[in-house]
Amino acid sequence: MRQYLDIKQAYSDAFLLFRMGDFYELFYDDAVKAAQILELTLTSRNKNSENPIPMAGVPHHSVQQYIDILIDLGYKVAIAEQMEDPKQAVGVVKRDVVQVITPGTAVDALNTGKDNNFLVAIDRDDTQYALSYLDLATGEFFVTSLDDFETVVDEIASLKAREVVVGYGLSEADPQKQILEVQLNVLVSSELIGVEASELISTDLSSLESKTAAKLLNYVIGTQKRHLSHLQAAQHYEIKDFLLMDASSKKSLDLLYNARTGKKYGSLYWLLDETKTAMGTRMLKMWIDRPLVSLKAIKNRQDVSQVFLDHFFERSDLSEALKGVYDIERLASRISFGKASPKDLLQLAQTLSNVPAISTVLIQMSSDILVPLIDQLDHMPDLLELITRAIDSSASASITEGNIIKDGFNEPLDDYRVILRDGTSWITELEAKERVNSGINNLKIDYNKKDGYYFHVTNANLTQVPSHFFRKATLKNSERYGTQELSTIETQMLDARENAASLEYNLFLDVREQAATFISRIQKLAKIIAEIDVLQSLAVVAENNHYIRPTIHKDSQEIHIKNGRHAVVEKVMDAQQYVPNSIDFDQDTMIQLITGPNMSGKSTYMRELALSVVMAQIGCYLPADQIDLPIFDAIFTRIGAADDLISGQSTFMVEMMEANHAIRRATPQSLILFDELGRGTATYDGIALAQSIVEYIHEQVGAKTLFATHYHELTVLERQLSQVKNVHVATLENAGEVTFLHKIEPGPADKSYGIHVAKIAGLPQALLSRAKLILSELENSSAQHVPEAPKKEVEQLGLFDHSDELVTAIKQIDVMNLTPMDAMNQLYELKKLVDSLSM
């Protein structure tokens, strides 16, 4: 227990799994908490003492499932192993922690097969922040510089990191820690002392970037306690090299998952995912998360997709070849960790054997644009030959149970196997010979670990036992005997079995170590296969959905989409029922004010443009008859309203914060989507803020903007601001029934049809009738309060009573110079005057 407490002191923030024989044990508070979380039986050590020690344990062969649960809940787990053979230990068996598993360093834990699990480190100096991240399972390693903590938070949220290593002092009460832990739900880990230089950290990085990447690297090495040869050199990147979208915008556009359900279905990722490999799936997610801003790179992806589209049969062959590709990116990390099994190496060999087929298909397409891809398809024949020659195709996942190495790979191993095979026949022959000599018809040779090989003789036949038999064990109804000849065979066989197992184990380790020298080549091959997989996926989606290639330019900010569709909505619903919409922003249009009823399609129209931009800058083809788009540097959205209860922020506060985020960061090359901005406060406040925001974007920002609103008062801005255009969602009204046409047309809407939407939602008829009455009274009155209940009769005011005061007030109004806001205020004052005169 002293040994346990000494180790636990060094890992006080982790559950300590302490190996004792066939179990991992937990003690004290760890045991109490783990018993509750993992549903283990809580026992105690030294039960009869005054202070028994709480204890709980899990079998060593099933420990991973318990680690998974703890990691998934955000805990750290330290694994303490026995460092020597208990049979040879003098005193207490030596134990030490061999690995600390955390949410950010989990490789086997969490079902991360098709998802990256990024560990992030952040640091700062007097002027800026640096952020570095890596995926321990794939070896990817990146670093960048950022201007402020808000951008840092956006990047962490974008990476979906589960753990952040902070390289500077951060107290429990620090607002930054609250944001990281509460808003982002990440585990905050302290920095490690001591920053060592590494060949993985380039001298081209800034001082702060190098420092941050080194702290991250030290944290990983410190927790994993081994050399990680699969980690790649830290690559510098700039967030401006990609289309900027904050976490809120990505969520509102349903890029990687459906924001409402949290599932893949209904997201852009769901639409575009025709990948055949796990590596391709991860790269597709990365492309969706980080669309390009380089016109050259976008056109290169489009060109490759076009080649795939033009070669249907070859693309089908390519798809089949990719199906035989395993996740070699993660296999490389398992080799580096020393965890690769025989099956892992066989999967690597299977993948390498498929590479020539992939290369051949690409060559058959006869396109210069594919040459860079073909040249990087390294099938590593020497590694393939090694694995094929060494590893038996029927080898199990275990490296200790034998039957791993092929016959003919190693001569001594072959000799041992001959002895084992011949030994079996020798025993069969000896058994038959002694049965005849002794006359014991049921005499047979058996084996167990305690007695080895022995002749089994029942009590009824004891009088026939030959004299050269010697007794090995006595049972109730039988005796076990040995002979010199049987002992000789047994010694040869046991020695051969033990030596063969040991030799086979060492031979496998040697093959695995040789495979480790290919890790960097395996990783490069994984990247190129993933890229090919994603590009063929985009081609398949384009063909299946009849998408077209968009024209992308960077010389102007004009937008022209003819009969465009929201790709995901169209896919979810029947394409025959989807109503397409054209979107046009010429040089004289900066802002579109969109009016129209709820449920009519305003948000879909806005998202159609945003999603078209994202897809175009990924390199996708798009659903439309014709598309001409500029390159945008950022998309900012405020779509939908929701309180942020955790942070104590109201809907309106969230609206204003996101509007502020967009307005401060947007450039003339950005796209802004604002849906019903200002509705979270009083009408006057909302109109005033909405109008001032539109004016500010028009005069100060210059970004292309879609602004959907129910404030019809804002539609006058088209006359006041030169680059504001009104559009509305068309409706068809007939005999009191309204049909939403989901078609965007020029000009403002004349009604909101809110009561009709309520009717569709199924509200009671009595309620709807009352709403119509109230609406009628409001439309015929300038009152700012809800009319009294219908039982009370309202006396109509005589207009010409007190006419002098009213006439004077009205004459003082300068009608020609009123803004919409001034007009509403004047109307309000007149109403107050009328109310006071009528009392």
Annotated binding site for ATP: 596-603
Annotated binding site: 596-603
Cα four-point dihedral sign 763, 768, 771, 772: positive
What is the spatial distance between Cα 714 and Cα 700, in angstroms, rounded to a whole number? 18
Are 146 and 152 spatial neighbours (Cβ–Cβ below 8 Å)?
yes
Are 211 and 234 spatial neighbours (Cβ–Cβ below 8 Å)?
no
- Placement of tokens 């060559």 in the chain: 363
> What DSSP letter does each residue of 408-444 carry, written as one string?
TS-HHHHHHHHHHHHHHHHHHHHHHHHHHHH--TT-E
Side-chain-side CA neighbours of 209 within 13 Å: the count stands at 19
What is the spatial distance between Cα 201 and Cα 138, in angstroms, rounded to a whole number? 17
Q: Which amino acid is at 551?
A: T
Using DSSP bridges, classify how beta strands 670-675 and 704-708 pair: parallel, antiparallel or unpaired.
parallel
Partners of 675 in the β-ladder: 708
Cα four-point dihedral sign 29, 35, 36, 37: positive
What is the spatial distance between Cα 702 and Cα 92, in angstroms, rounded to a whole number? 74
What is the spatial distance between Cα 452 and Cα 166, in angstroms, rounded to a whole number? 59
All residues at 6 or more sequence positions from 725 whose CB lies less than 8 Å from its CB, including other chains = 589, 591, 592, 593, 718, 746
> Can you list the positions of beta strands (E) in 372-496?
444-448, 452-458, 470-474, 478-482
- Placement of tokens 């989606």 in the chain: 541
What is the spatial distance between Cα 20 and Cα 94, in angstroms, rounded to a whole number? 11
What is the spatial distance between Cα 350 and Cα 358, in angstroms, rounded to a whole number? 13
Q: Which amino acid is at 18?
A: F
Q: Which helix or strand (DSSP H or E) is residue 281 part of?
A: helix 278-289
Residue 672, number of CB atoms within 10 A of its CB: 23
Cα four-point dihedral sign 188, 191, 197, 202: positive
Binning the chain into helix, strand and coil, the percentages to the nearest 5 are: 45, 20, 35
- Placement of tokens 């300590």 in the chain: 16
What is the spatial distance between Cα 373 and Cα 529, in angstroms, rounded to a whole number? 9
Tokens read off for 589: 């249009």
Residue 25, number of CB atoms within 10 A of its CB: 20
Cα four-point dihedral sign 715, 719, 720, 721: positive
Tokens read off for 348: 């690597």
What is the spatial distance between Cα 335 and Cα 511, in angstroms, rounded to a whole number? 10
> What DSSP letter does each residue of 295-356 carry, written as one string?
HHHHHHHHHHHHHHHH-HHHHHHHHHHHHT---HHHHHHHHHHT---HHHHHHHHHHHHHHH
- Placement of tokens 């090694």 in the chain: 386
> Can you list the positions of beta strands (E) in 603-762?
626-630, 634-638, 670-675, 704-708, 724-734, 737-746
Tokens read off for 181: 């832990």
What is the spatial distance between Cα 688 and Cα 819, in angstroms, rounded to a whole number? 11
Total residue count of the chain as it appears in this document: 839
Are 641 and 678 spatial neighbours (Cβ–Cβ below 8 Å)?
no
What is the spatial distance between Cα 308 and Cα 306, in angstroms, rounded to a whole number? 5
Residue 466, number of CB atoms within 10 A of its CB: 14
